[in-house]
């Protein structure tokens, strides 16, 4: 959604850093998820903890991204 808003709304261009951060975020998550699927020697408690960290971090990142306003709007 943030990528679409960035492309569709001209006033969002000041949030380019967040767009780049979200791309890095997605790549890092895919790497961690792939590691969880490929490596079976991870203890169950560590595996479940990593899943919980990913889930909660996505919630907080989503709340942050959806709280951003276009640059021209004060608020």
Written as six digits, the tokens of 60 are 């907080």
| Number of residues that this document lists for the chain | 75
**Which burial class, exposed, middle or buried, applies to 1 when counting CB atoms under 10 A from its CB (0-12, 13-18, 19+)?**
exposed
pTM for the structure as a whole: 0.65
> How high is the pLDDT of residue 45?
92
58 phi/psi in degrees, rounded to 5? -65, -35
> How high is the pLDDT of residue 4?
75
> How high is the pLDDT of residue 49?
92
Residues of the chain with pLDDT under 70: 1-2, 5, 70, 72-75
* CA angle, 63 then 8 then 11, to 5°: 75
């Amino acid at each position: 959604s943030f990528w679409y808003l960035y492309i569709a709304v001209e006033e969002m261009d000041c949030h380019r850093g967040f767009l780049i951060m979200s791309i890095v975020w997605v790549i890092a998550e895919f790497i961690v998820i792939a590691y969880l699927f490929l490596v079976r020697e991870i203890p169950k408690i560590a595996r479940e903890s990593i899943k919980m960290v990913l889930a909660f971090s996505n919630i907080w990142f989503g709340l942050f991204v959806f709280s951003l306003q276009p640059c021209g709007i004060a608020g």
